[in-house]
């Protein structure tokens, strides 16, 4: 058994220092040597992993977190494979209203990490009912309103009509921006032109000016990268044409080549300005709600942002978002505020994907590390968790909640074929006679 301070150190190195399990073990050896020690054995990577998972399991199964003022942040994570995992973070409304800025990981408590093979509205509703029995019914939920989450929350509200449902502002804004951009025929032509441009620039001296690649998942939430490139590339084009570049730039930006590869942007100059204003209006709305949450005045504050924009597309964005936000805030009064962004949850899921990477991106018991990633790692907490949650509890949780990961199935199914084995034997080097 290792001392509690060593265990705390290795857990923090992995969760907060973002280093691998094996590196955390070696780092502890180095630290011991630097402190005058002999660099004796630290926990190995498997032991560190088990400590983290036992801590995570302890946190989601504790029974001392029952409250009547929870706000739950909901999202699903799914990697390779069919397992879909519901992640629920909670923050007490009392604590939320004391914050002076956006929520951070340590402001929240992991309420649930619930893997399932099939997820729909009925399944989500059942999961929420289970959590309500353990932690108390929440006063509100906040999600991106994916189809199963939206249906599940609506079913849950039928039994708990006092529970409010809020829409993550980033997904709301992005959905409206998507509709605006997709109704603009020039946008699709621009993106295709960017792909052609990238192919020309990739292996040229202008490779540093290559347009960003469109992202395949939720690409409408990443339009800002593509729009900013257009505006900046147009600026480069103008400065090269007018000669407003220094000697180093003149050497790497030959005017003829720049004109040949970026001149096509002239036909998108006006639309790029429109798109940029739409993007900035959306970011201003996100920042407003991210900072202050939903309040009684949020819809009016969003509408006032419309006074600072020039193009009809931006005004339409502001109007549509304000109209959808207004019903969400109708029940709020005075200084009441509710969380409006699930970005902190998505950030946590991103951290979890890093920790899951070594398992082939399938959902394994390593998903429990998400629960440990939100808490302040203290010696007392680690002692309590490891004395309460044993390895047998961890194995039982995995049996009850998970199927074998992709890496296990791959090892069992993609075995060497007979033809491969025969070739290996035939081509093996002959052992020389001694």
Please state the rounded mean pLDDT for residues 19-31. Answer: 86
pLDDT tens column, 396-426? 988 888 766 566 666 777 777 888 888 888 8
pLDDT at 65: 84
Tell me which residue of 276, 187, 182 sits closest to 229, measured CA to CA. Answer: 276
% residues pLDDT > 70 (the chain) = 91
Q: Over the chain, what HEC string results? A: CCCHHHHHHHHHHHHCCCCCHHHHHHHHHHHHHHCCCCCCCCCCHHHHHHHHHHHHHHHHHCCCCCCCCEEEEEEEECCECCCEEEEEEEEEHHHHCCCCCCCCHHHCEEEEEEEECCCCHHHHHHHHHHHHHHHCCCCEEEECCCHHHHHHHHHHHHHCCCCEEEECHHHHHHHHHHHHHHCCHHHHHHHHHHHHHHHHHCCCCCHHHCCCCCCCCCHHHHHHHHHHHHHHHHHHHHHHHHCCCCHHHHHHCCHHHHHHHHHHHHHHHHHHHHHHHHHHHHHHHHHHHHHHCEECCHHHHHHHHHHHCCCHHHHHHHHHHHHHHHHHHCCCCCCCEECCCCHHHHHHHHHHHHHHHHHCCECCHHHHHHHHCCCCCCHHHHHHHHHHCCHHHHHHHHHHHCCCCHHHHHHHHCCCCHHHHHHHHHHCCCCCCC
**Mean pLDDT for all residues in the chain:** 87
Please state the rounded mean pLDDT for residues 354-382. Answer: 76
Other C-beta atoms within 10 Å of 220: how many? 16
Least confident among 141-145, 245-249, 307-311, 352-356: 352-356
Question: Cα separation of 71 and 294, whole Å?
Answer: 13
Does 362 score more than 60 pLDDT?
A: no
pLDDT tens column, 210-249? 998 877 555 556 789 999 999 999 999 999 999 999 989 9
pLDDT at 431: 62
pLDDT tens column, 104-138? 888 898 888 888 888 899 999 999 999 999 899 99
Does 170 score more than 70 pLDDT?
A: yes
pLDDT at 32: 76
If one compares 370 and 173, the residue with the highest pLDDT of the two is 173
Confidence of residue 367 (pLDDT cuts 50, 70, 90): confident
pLDDT tens column, 257-288? 999 999 999 999 999 999 999 999 999 999 99
- Outline which parts of the chain fall under CATH 3.30.420.10: 61-168+340-376
Please state the rounded mean pLDDT for residues 65-80. Answer: 84
pLDDT at 349: 81
If one compares 217 and 393, the residue with the highest pLDDT of the two is 393
pLDDT at 20: 87
Does 434 score more than 60 pLDDT?
A: no
Question: Cα separation of 177 and 220, whole Å?
Answer: 8
Tell me which residue of 211, 229, 202, 257 sits closest to 249, measured CA to CA. Answer: 257
pLDDT at 79: 60
- What global pTM score does this model have? 0.83
If one compares 333 and 138, the residue with the highest pLDDT of the two is 138
**To which CATH superfamily is domain 61-168+340-376 assigned?**
Ribonuclease H-like superfamily/Ribonuclease H (3.30.420.10)
Confidence of residue 63 (pLDDT cuts 50, 70, 90): confident
If one compares 428 and 268, the residue with the highest pLDDT of the two is 268
């Amino acid at each position: 058994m290792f001392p509690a301070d060593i265990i705390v150190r290795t857990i923090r190195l992995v969760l907060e220092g973002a280093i691998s399990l094996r590196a955390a073990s070696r780092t502890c050896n180095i630290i011991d040597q630097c402190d005058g020690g002999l660099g004796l054995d630290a926990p190995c990577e498997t032991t560190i992993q088990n400590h983290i998972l036992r801590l995570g399991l302890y946190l989601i199964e504790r029974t001392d977190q029952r409250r009547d003022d929870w706000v739950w942040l909901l999202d699903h994570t799914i990697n390779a494979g069919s397992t879909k995992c519901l992640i629920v973070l909670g923050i007490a409304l009392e604590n939320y209203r004391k914050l002076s800025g956006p929520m951070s990981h340590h402001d929240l408590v992991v309420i649930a990490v619930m893997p399932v093979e099939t997820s729909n509205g009925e399944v989500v509703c059942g999961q929420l009912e289970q959590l309500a029995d353990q932690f108390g019914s929440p006063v509100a939920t906040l999600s991106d309103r994916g189809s199963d989450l939206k249906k599940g929350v609506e079913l849950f509200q039928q039994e708990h009509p006092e529970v409010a449902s809020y829409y993550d502002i980033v997904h709301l804004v992005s959905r409206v921006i998507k509709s605006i951009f997709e109704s603009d025929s020039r946008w699709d032509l621009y993106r295709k032109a960017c792909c052609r441009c990238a192919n020309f620039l990739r292996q040229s001296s202008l490779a540093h000016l290559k347009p960003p690649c469109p992202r395949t998942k939720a690409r409408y939430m990443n339009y800002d990268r593509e729009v900013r490139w257009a505006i900046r590339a147009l600026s480069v084009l103008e400065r090269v044409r007018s000669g407003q570049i220094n000697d180093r730039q003149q050497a790497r930006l030959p005017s003829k080549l720049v004109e040949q590869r970026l001149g096509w942007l002239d036909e998108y100059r006006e639309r790029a300005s429109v798109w940029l204003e739409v993007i900035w209006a959306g970011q201003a709305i996100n920042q407003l709600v991210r900072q202050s949450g939903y309040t009684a005045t949020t819809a009016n504050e969003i509408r006032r942002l419309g006074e600072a924009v020039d193009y009809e597309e931006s005004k339409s964005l502001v109007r549509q978002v304000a109209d959808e936000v207004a019903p969400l805030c109708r029940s709020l009064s005075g200084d009441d505020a509710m969380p409006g962004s699930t970005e902190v949850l998505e950030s946590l899921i991103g951290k979890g994907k890093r920790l899951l990477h070594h398992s082939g991106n399938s959902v394994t018991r390593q998903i429990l590390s998400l629960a440990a990633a939100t808490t302040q790692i203290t010696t007392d907490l680690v002692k309590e968790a490891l004395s309460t949650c044993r390895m047998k509890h961890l194995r039982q949780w995995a049996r009850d909640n998970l199927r074998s990961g992709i890496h296990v199935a791959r090892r069992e199914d993609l075995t060497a074929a007979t033809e491969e084995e025969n070739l290996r034997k035939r081509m093996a080097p002959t052992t020389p006679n001694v």
